[in-house]
Amino acid sequence: LAQEAQRGVSRGAMPADAVRISSNENPLGPCPEALEAIYKIAKYGGRYQPFGETAAFIKTAAEVEGVKPSYIAPFAGSSDPLHRTTVAFTSPERSFVMGDPGYEAGARSAQFIGAKVHRIPLRKDFSHDVEAMCKADPNAGVIYICNPNNPTGTLTSRKDIEYVLANKPKGSILLLDEAYVHFSEMTPASELVAADKEVIILRTFSKAYGMAGIRAGMAIARPDLLEKMRPYGAGMLPITGLVAATASMQVKTLVAERRKINKDIREDTFEFLTAKKFTFVPSQSNKFMLEVHKPGMEVVKALAAEKIYIGRVWPIWPTHVRVSIGTQDEMNKFKTALVKVMA
Ligand code: PLP
């Protein structure tokens, strides 16, 4: 019910001047090179693949990630491969293990097919408790780690990721969701895939690349692992998403530029919150958890009345709300409204 209410608040009709800091989107949108690529390809939209768009995407992604082309599988975002991997590797006998609070989409598809879900609280430093996750169930099918985590924006170290690979139950895989990796200083984990480990990495163009509504993403993994998840869905990707993603990856300065913009606005917001004596989780990504000392939904609704649309509340932390980082102007409006509703 709480989730339905939240969906209503964050996805319902919003006024034109709404501040949308609910869904970890990127207010910068696609880069100019991506827009140009979309414009050029749109008139060929009557064809599935007018100029081999999928091959070009795979070639570029493989170069960027340092893996062979056969280790890249493009999808229209990362939700699709997240669900496919869950369905392929969990079952009523093989469970899904995740951090809590964590991104819930995989747990929902696991539950849908009757797989048990183990929610393991994050450690005190907000990293994933990898020891507890590996011990949660000897029959686990998927160990899901979101890094940086959604909703906390916090990191789990490479050492901990490697611990999971060395200690996870036999027959399970590590599903490493790096949707937000470009916002942090962390090195993406593609080299673990290049080393043929039992890991499937998910990436999306919805976040740093600003293409949530255009749709592109990928799974990066050993070809035999990709083969296992491939059958659970079908269909071509939009050529607009493919060419925009390829063009974005070719702009070598883009990720660093956007990381800095996000970091500067996040640090300004944190300085303000600290000065006003708020408590928040020190995120390294484009969203953070704010402690509001009362049921989070009350604050979500009060801010919505001020046309500030923030994100969800997680059951394990009922007095925290998730706030995405918008533009500086949007965050300034958020600050003013927050002080008003918390007074
Ligand atoms: N993974 C995480 C951690 C997310 O937060 C999201 C979206 O918010 C997704 C995956 C799915 O996004 P998309 O399908 O747009 O790539």
Is 120 touching ligand 1 by the criterion CB < 6 Å?
no
Could you tell me which CATH number the domain at 32-250 has? 3.40.640.10
The pair of structure tokens assigned to 286 is 């484009």
Residue 315, classified by CB atoms within 10 Å of its CB into exposed (0-12), middle (13-18) or buried (19+), is: exposed
In contact, 62 and 68? CB cutoff 8 Å:
yes
3-state SS, residue 329: helix
Q: Is 218 in the pocket of ligand 1 (CB under 6 A)?
A: no
Task: Check for a shared fold between 2-24+254-335 and 32-250.
Answer: no
Q: Is 208 in the pocket of ligand 1 (CB under 6 A)?
A: no
pLDDT band, residue 1 (cuts 50/70/90): very low
**Protein residue with its CA nearest to atom 11 in ligand 1:** 79
What does each C-alpha distance from 243 to 37, 70, 257 come to in angstroms? 6, 19, 21
Q: Which atom of ligand 1 is nearest to the CA of 78?
A: 16
The average pLDDT across 92-111 equals 98
**pLDDT value of residue 136:** 98
**Rounded distance, CA 2 to CA 136, Å?**
27
Whether residue 5 has pLDDT greater than 80 = no
Report pLDDT for 158. 97
| Spacing, Cα 340 to ligand 1 middle (Å) | 31
Give the per-residue pLDDT at 14: 81
Distances (CA, A) of 113 to 90, 119, 168: 8, 17, 22
**What is the pLDDT at residue 49?**
95
Instruction: Locate the domains of the chain by residue range.
Output: 2-24+254-335, 32-250
pLDDT beyond 80 at 191? yes
Q: Is the pLDDT of residue 81 over 60?
A: yes
pLDDT at position 9: 54
Q: pLDDT class for 21, splitting at 50, 70, 90? A: very high
State in Å: Cα 204 to ligand 1 middle.
7
Q: What class has domain 2-24+254-335? A: alpha beta
- Nearest residue (by CA) to ligand 1, atom 2, is 179
Instruction: For 192-226, write each residue's pLDDT tens digit.
Output: 999 999 999 999 999 999 999 999 999 999 999 99
- Asked if the ipTM is above 0.95, the reply is yes
Helical residues (DSSP H) of 276-327, grouped into ranges: 296-305
SS3 breakdown of the chain: % helix, strand, coil, rounded to 5?
A: 45, 15, 40
Ligand 1 pocket, residue 103 CB under 6 Å: yes
Over the chain, what is the mean pLDDT?
96
The predicted-structure confidence for 218-273, as pLDDT tens digits, reads as follows 999 999 999 999 999 888 899 999 999 999 999 999 999 999 999 999 999 999 99
Instruction: Check pocket membership of 206 for ligand 1, CB cut-off 6 A.
Output: yes
Distances (CA, A) of 245 to 63, 96, 295: 14, 30, 39
> Over pLDDT 70: what percentage of the chain?
97
The model's pTM is 0.96
